[in-house]
A and B are shown apart, each in its own frame.
Chain A
Amino acid sequence: MILFQLFSAFFKIGLFTLGGGYAMLALIQQEIVRYGWMTPQEFVDVVGIAEVTPGPIAVNAATFVGFRTAGVQGALVATGAVVLPSLISVMIVSRVWARYKNSHIVQNMFAGIRPVVVGLVGAAAVLVGLATFRSLSSGIHGLYTLVLGGLTFYGVAFRKWDPIKVLVGAALIGLIVYR
């Protein structure tokens, strides 16, 4: 029964998530409160952990809530349920897309949408960058942040550094300098 509840709650959450993971967190909180799975304080912890662990935030939150509610089975059910709407909608869209990909209208649509993606990601980069700098700019930390950010940008832009190695390196540097 609890597994079925987890499935239906997280399927709904996956289905009604349009856009970023943060929109989804409000929905997750609503469902958790409805079923009494966690206290609001516990949910704050879930969000904190979902953010600092790798992987999409929504997937992390689903796994965590599922595990705390019904063990490993619960984690698997909640995670499966939260990604299922993605798979279904991608299946449908891909079929249609594959058929009309070469039509003029669809090609024009995508040529029109690409600058939008640049703007979307640009806005995310600026907003996240500013928030990051603001939270890590007090005293000597500000200098570390500038140097680490500048070095990373230089590395990927001019030295073709592998993003994965950069992230590992930044985590290690962070451990030392942000203590």
Chain B
Amino acid sequence: MTIYWDLLSTFFKMGLFTFGGGYAMLPLLQREVVEKKKWATEAELMDYYAIGQSTPGIIAVNTASFVGYFQGGLLGAIAATIGLVLPSIMIILVVASVLHQLTDFAWLDHAFAGIRVAVSALVSFSVYKLGKAGIADTFGLVWALLTFAAIAFLKLSPIWIVAVSFVLGNVLRRREGDRAS
């Protein structure tokens, strides 16, 4: 099996089971990309996600392209992206051609309610796993809590927080390193 086919089929699965924003894809990425395929470590996944968040484009597509690119170059990125969007195209084409009124799909709402509950629980556990891999010290913990508060209470845009953290994190860490040496 070539890497391109592998990327395409793996991300096809993720496109098929991602409900919601980019965050909803994380539990699947952790299972398929980190644990099963070992295409990235938990820390690398966080890097892709952070960069995906702050570069133009849809976060899920950006993350897929990063994983694909580092496994198989440009073709790898394209294979992962096609895999990710293929389920959307197939499902939406079917839905759009049979659907005339949203009420035809009331049962879908009930299934989706169950999915939303599961996604919330899945993502909560993802946060725990990310925390274990990404928070190394008290400084990191404080930074994570500040980010949480800025997003949840102040409704700041993630892009600015990511940008500021890139710079500030570097300055503070370097100073810490100087003190240690």
Residues on A close to B: CB < 8 A?
A: 14-22, 24, 45, 48-60, 63-64, 67-68, 72, 75-76, 79, 82-83, 85-87, 89-91, 93-94, 97-98, 105, 108-129, 132-133, 135-136, 145, 148-150, 152-153, 156-157, 162-164, 166-167, 169-175, 177-179
> Secondary structure of the A side of the interface?
helix
Instruction: State the Cβ distance, A63 to closest chain B Cβ, in Å.
Output: 4
Report B-chain residues with C-beta under 8 Å of the C-beta of A164. 13, 17, 28, 31
Q: How far is the CB of A147 from chain B (nearest CB, A)?
A: 9
Residues of A within 8 A of B27 (CB): 156, 163
CB-based contact A93/B55 at 8 Å: yes
B25 / chain A contacts, CB cutoff of 8 Å: 56
Size range of the chain B interface in the assembly: 35 or more
**B3 on the A face (CB < 8 A):** no
Interface of B, helix, strand, loop or mixed by DSSP: helix
Among the listed A15, A57, A115, which residue makes an inter-chain contact with B134, where contact means beta carbons less than 8 Å apart? Answer: A115
B84 partner residues in chain A, CB cutoff 8 A: 55-56, 59
Within 8 A of A (CB), among B63-89: 65-66, 69-70, 74, 77-78, 81, 84-85, 87-89
The chain B residue sitting closest to A82, CB to CB, is B58
